[in-house]
Structure 1
Amino acid sequence: MGGVTETLLLVLVVVTALAFDFTNGFHDTGNAMATSIATRALRPRTAVLLSAVLNMAGAFLSLAVAATIAKGLVDAGAISLEVVFAGLVGGIVWNLVTWLFGLPSSSSHALVGGVVGSVLAAAGTEGVLWTGVVAKVLVPALLAPVVAIGVAATGTYLVARLTRGIDDKVTGRAFRWGQVGSASLVSLAHGTNDAQKSMGIILLALITAGAVPADSSVPFWVIFSCAFFMALGTYLGGWRIIRTLGKGLVEIDSRQGMAAETSSAAVILLSSYFGFSLSTTHVATGSIMGSGVGMPGATVRWGVAGRMLSAWALTLPAAGIVGAACYGIQHGVGGLLGTLLVLALLVGAATAIWVASRRRPVNHTNVNEQWDERHDGGLRRSVTAPDAAAPDVTTADAAGTDAPSEDEIHARRANALAYTTDRPSDEEQR
């Protein structure tokens, strides 16, 4: 009987890990495609389909991050399947809460926080490999957005100088095509990093259950399953977060978009090479902010950025508290019944969050509507136009929404772009 219970629990952990991968997919779609959608380089649904395909492909390119998650953060000998399950629930709940509010927080840190919290509740501080947590999670979390801001700001500034004096319509079309390539590279890079986190958790569960040796690599079926469910979540599109990244941080044009995406891809691929469990959300957000800092005349909405930073700071402890509480419930009730009770609570919470999201839905028809900071970026009207109304790289800047076109954005920056003189811009004079 005990063997049957153990097998059922292992299956439940694997399914929950794949559910986390699904939430990770739609939560992080904006990291790759928000700027391409905002500048109309790609139609919204075309963008998420392209991102899904490349996310899945990227998952097969490297397994360094999976090894970090499975063997570099917690002591596999000090945990159980109940602990792993509780940690996954902590990560999923935080992903759903931040998605509801359109906050691009880190799915990676939600997962790590949930697992570390459940390990602390089960085994105390001895169950956590603190050196690995600091070196592989906390230090990259602090450095990644700073590096991304610097790289993107420098790249955007250089692009602005090199394209000064060239007709805006010419540069706009060229850079929109460039964005297709740079956004694709970010999606590929995202697959090499984020899809592996669930792979690592499933491998950890398999090792804990004795299904594979402690020194085992990730089985192919785990790689494929994680890649598929992340791609599925990506295709469905996390429109609330895409809107925040594409419209809420910076009034972005295609030059900035390409610079931000290229910077994100470079930082993410480098971290995957070294096995860092990097937050692609931190990198992408930092790159978008950097594109605003580096572009003369652009404005970064620091209020929105501040709310994101608050969510980042809360991610590890909040997910950890949920993970610890879930383990406490399992331990208190005992056995498979305790795990099923936690599962029921997870399903109930997810349903409540989904119902709440329907009060102000965001989808491919209104994701590009103009940001209204006075109402916390809220949508001012309902848009029901079909996806075909959104132009792609083969069309002009016909909007289909009331967002400003690139020509309007360039016009607003005309004075600021004359940065080789000492004359203040009209904006500064006002």
Structure 2
Amino acid sequence: MTPVLFALVVVTALGMAYMNGFHDASNAVSTTIATRTLRESAALMMAAVLNLLGALLGMMLIMVTAQWAIDLLGLAPLLEATGGAPDRLGAAMLAIMLTTILWDLLTWWFGMPASTWHAFFGATLGASLVLGATAPWEELGALLVVSLVGPPLSASLAFVLMHALLRIGRDERLRRGHLRFAQTLSAGAVATGHGINDSRLPLAMIVIAAATVPASPVPEAAIMVGVAVAVGAGTLMGGHRIIRTLGRRLTDLSVAQGLSAEVSAASTMALSLFGLDSPISTSHALASSVVGAGAAKGLRTVRWPVALQIALVWLSTPLATAVLGAALLGTGLSLVEG
């Protein structure tokens, strides 16, 4: 891979990390803002710092190697198809990341929480088809299983937790201030988990690109810090449209409901990260948990048309990004090689 193309891949990966933080800031702060547990500025600052620290922690806990990155992203077939042409690999990586960024921008504009991981794997599928590579069916299958199991699990757990809090709430010793404090802690856990989970995506892309350069000019530590800062900076800006969807449009959250949703989302993320060792969408986890916490106080409290719109976006993400990724890569290759 040429130095210029490598630099483009690194910059685009950092852009994807920034966009991911911006798009998914709602996962940690929407419920605390909606319930007035924290002011919006304070919530975003807390989420940004914990996303940054979570990203650094997550990257330090793993053995960062090219093979780790390839296995995580399922890019082995793509590397095999472009083995003698690293610049074609670089072009494919750019198309995949640009597709992911564009999808995050589009779903943010419409205020829809969507999965960056799903967008990435959909774009990878499209790029693989253009290059004649075998699609990463194993990784796609694992992601599909987690996606099918994760939302119902998150919603059910939030439903049970909310009922438990309703019972505990009858005890006069449990005051509203206690719930607000607990909700702040749970929001912090979601932010930290998001940093651990989603920082691996841009990091892995940079590591794979660096492996194609004989002597990578960027130290590993600098890459890790750059990714963490990009995720934190994006979170600080906050995707306010999605925050409004999760915090207000989907259901009217109480403090107890916000706490239940965040604890459920954090638990699902922890199970995925440390139990299944498979990436999970934090957007899926929190949105499903909000629905479960809302339904615990009555099915009519959930605005089901909004929930249906979100579900349709989730279902369309892999297909739409596969088409977009294939189109971007096909156009890029025709311009370069034509």
Quick check: TM above 0.5? yes
The CA deviation string for residues 107-147 of structure 1, in whole angstroms up to 9 with x for no partner, is: 121122222211221133x2x23112212x11111111111
Q: Distance in 2 between matches of 1:171 and 1:258?
A: 14
- 1:78 is aligned, of 73, 78, 81, to 81
| Deviation of 1:177 (Å) | 1.6
| Deviation of 1:69 (Å) | 5.5
Q: Distance in 2 between matches of 1:332 and 1:26?
A: 32
| Deviation of 1:96 (Å) | 0.5
Residue number in structure 2 paired with 1:11: 7
In the alignment, residue 180 of structure 1 is paired with which amino acid? T
Q: Distance in 2 between matches of 1:204 and 1:143?
A: 30
| Deviation of 1:298 (Å) | 6.4
The CA deviation string for residues 161-192 of structure 1, in whole angstroms up to 9 with x for no partner, is: 1113649xx63222112111110011011111
- 2:208 is aligned, of 204, 224, 230, to 204
Contact 1:87 1:116 in 2 (8 A): no
Q: How does 1:175-324 map to 2 (within 5 A)?
A: 175-209=179-213, 219-273=220-274, 274-296=276-298, 299-324=301-326
In the alignment, residue 60 of structure 1 is paired with which amino acid? L
Residue number in structure 1 paired with 2:163: 157
Shift in CA distance, 331/296, structure 1 to aligned 2, threshold 3 Å: closer
Residue number in structure 1 paired with 2:177: 173
Q: Distance in 1 between matches of 2:55 and 2:287?
A: 22
Shift in CA distance, 58/181, structure 1 to aligned 2, threshold 3 Å: same
| Deviation of 1:232 (Å) | 0.3
The CA deviation string for residues 199-233 of structure 1, in whole angstroms up to 9 with x for no partner, is: 11212222344557xxxxx9322221111101000
Q: Distance in 2 between matches of 1:317 and 1:146?
A: 22
Contact 2:69 2:207 in 1 (8 A): no
Residue number in structure 2 paired with 1:370: none
Highest Rg: 1 or 2?
A: 1
Q: How does 1:19-418 map to 2 (within 5 A)?
A: 19-63=15-59, 70-72=70-72, 73-75=74-76, 76-79=79-82, 80-124=89-133, 126=134, 128-135=135-142, 137-164=143-170, 166=172, 171-209=175-213, 219-273=220-274, 274-296=276-298, 299-334=301-336
TM-score relative to the length of structure 2: 0.89
Q: Distance in 2 between matches of 1:65 and 1:329?
A: 36
Q: Distance in 2 between matches of 1:292 and 1:210?
A: 54
In the alignment, residue 77 of structure 1 is paired with which amino acid? E
Runs of 5+ in structure 1 lacking a partner?
213-217, 339-430
Shift in CA distance, 102/69, structure 1 to aligned 2, threshold 3 Å: farther
TM-score relative to the length of structure 1: 0.71
Aligned-CA RMSD value = 2.1
Shift in CA distance, 161/246, structure 1 to aligned 2, threshold 3 Å: same
In the alignment, residue 70 of structure 2 is paired with which amino acid? A
Which has the higher mean CA deviation after the structures are superposed, 269-278 or 179-188? Answer: 269-278
In the alignment, residue 94 of structure 2 is paired with which amino acid? F
Q: Distance in 1 between matches of 2:38 and 2:246?
A: 15
Q: Distance in 2 between matches of 1:65 and 1:161?
A: 45
Higher RCO (CA < 8 A, seq sep 6+): 2
Quick check: which one's helix share is greater?
2
Q: Distance in 2 between matches of 1:41 and 1:177?
A: 8
Runs of 5+ in structure 2 lacking a partner?
83-88
Contact 1:148 1:284 in 2 (8 A): yes
